[in-house]
Amino acid sequence: MSLTARAFKHNSSAFVAELQTAAAARRMHGDHSGAFTIDRSIIALQAGQEIEDEWTLAIAKRFLNVS
């Protein structure tokens, strides 16, 4: 199971909230491409798809306290 899947399974609403916060931060910094990628990842996770990209992996590592 991927780290992203583990984080989502551990606490899906909190993990999605972390992703949404990251997407908002990307928008504030003008990185609309990064925000769009995170938004797509949120939709995929909520649809039950397995997804792991640089954004979800970084947030999952922090969320799960993994190095």
CA 9/CA 15 separation, integer angstroms: 9
**Domain assignments of the chain as residue spans, ordered by start:** 3-64
What's the rounded Cα separation, in Å, for the pair 1 and 29? 32
Q: Is 8 exposed, middle or buried (0-12, 13-18, 19+ CB in 10 A)?
A: buried
- Global pTM reads 0.91
pLDDT of res. 51 = 93
Q: Per-residue pLDDT tens for 14-64?
A: 999 999 999 999 999 999 999 999 999 999 999 999 999 999 999 999 999
